[in-house]
Chains A and B, each alone.
Chain A
Amino acid sequence: MQKPAQLKIVNRFGVTRLLPLGKPVFTIGRKAENDLQLLSDSVSRQHAEIIYEEDAWYLVDIGSKRGTFVNDQRVERYALQHLDHIRIGGDEDQQITFLDDSVERASAIFDSAPRLTLTPPLPGRERVTSANEELQKLARFVEVNQAFKFSMTPDDVLCLIVDAAIEITQAERGFLMLRNAAGDLEFKVARDHNRSWLEGADFAMSRSVVEEAFKQNRSVIINDSSEAAAHFARESIRNLDLRSIACIPLRRFQMTENMDATTILKRDVIGVLYVDSHVIGGTISQTSIRLLESLAFEATKSLESVRLMHEEQEKKQIEQELGMARQVQVALSPTAFKVPDHFEIAAHNIPSRYVGGDFYDFIPLKDDRSAFVLGDVSGKGMAAALLAAMAQGALQAQFTSNLPLAEVVASLNKVLVQRSASNRFITLFCATLDPEGHFTYINAGHNLPILARTTGETETLTTKSVLLGAFDFVEYKPRQTRLAPGDVVVMYTDGVTEAVNADNQMFGDERLEELVKQSVSLSAEEIKLRILDDVLSFTAGLPQGDDITLIVLKVK
Chain B
Amino acid sequence: MEIQIRTSGSVTILDLNGNLIIGRSEESLREAVKKLIDEERRFLLINLSDVPTIDSSGIGAMIKSFTSVKEANGKLKVMKPSRMARQLLSITGLLSVLETYEDETSAVSSF
Contact = CB atoms under 8 A, between A and B. Distances in A.
A427 B2 contact: no
10 closest Cβ pairs, A-B complex? A201-B2, A423-B60, A466-B93, A378-B56, A445-B92, A182-B52, A445-B93, A470-B63, A467-B92, A465-B93
Contacts of B17: 201-202
A187 B53 CA distance: 17
Contacts of A379: 56
Interface residues of B, number: 23
Interface string A89-119: 0000000000000000000000000000000
Contact of B52 (A180, A423, A443, A465): A180
Given A471-B63, A471-B67, A181 B53 contact: yes
A180 B90 CA distance: 24
A432 B30 CA distance: 38
Interface string B32-67: 000000000000000000001100110110011011
A464 B52 contact: no
B74 interface: no
A75 interface: no
A423 B97 contact: no
Nearest to A181: B53
A464 B92 contact: no
Contacts of B90: 464
B91 A182 contact: no
25 contacts: A180-B18, A180-B52, A181-B19, A181-B52, A181-B53, A182-B52, A200-B2, A201-B2, A202-B17, A378-B56, A422-B60, A423-B56, A423-B60, A425-B59, A425-B92, A444-B93, A445-B91, A445-B94, A446-B91, A447-B91, A464-B95, A466-B92, A467-B93, A470-B63, A471-B63
A309 interface: no
Nearest to B60: A423
A425 B56 contact: yes
Interface of A: 180-182, 186-187, 200-202, 378-379, 422-425, 427, 443-448, 464-467, 470-471, 474
Contact of A186 (B18, B63, B66, B91): B18
B77 to A, nearest CB: 15
B18 A464 contact: no
Interface in B64-111: 64, 66-67, 90-97
Contacts of A471: 63, 66-67, 97
Contacts of A200: 2
Contacts of B64: 422-423
Contact of B97 (A201, A444, A466): A466
A180 B19 contact: yes
A470 B66 CA distance: 10
Contact of A378 (B52, B60, B91, B97): B60
Contacts of A465: 93, 96
A445 B17 CA distance: 25
Interface of B: 2, 4, 17-19, 52-53, 56-57, 59-60, 63-64, 66-67, 90-97
Contacts of A422: 60, 63-64
B81 to A, nearest CB: 15
Nearest to A186: B18
Nearest to A446: B91
Given A466-B97, A471-B66, 10 more contacts: A180-B18, A181-B52, A187-B2, A422-B63, A423-B60, A423-B64, A444-B93, A464-B95, A465-B93, A470-B94
A182 to B, nearest CB: 4
A464 B4 contact: no
Given A378-B56, A422-B64, A427 B92 contact: yes
Highest count of chain A CB atoms <10 Å: which of B17, B53, B91: B91
A202 B66 CA distance: 27
Contact of B96 (A181, A423, A427, A464): A464
A467 B94 CA distance: 8
B32 to A, nearest CB: 13
A464 B94 CA distance: 8
Contacts of B2: 187, 200-201
A474 B94 CA distance: 10
A471 B93 CA distance: 11
A422 B63 CA distance: 9
Contacts of A445: 91-94
Nearest to B66: A471
B94 A466 contact: yes
A270 to B, nearest CB: 16
Nearest to A470: B63
Contacts of B60: 378, 422-425
A187 B57 CA distance: 22
Contacts of A470: 63, 94, 97
Contacts of A187: 2
B4 A201 contact: yes
A182 B50 CA distance: 11
Nearest to A471: B97
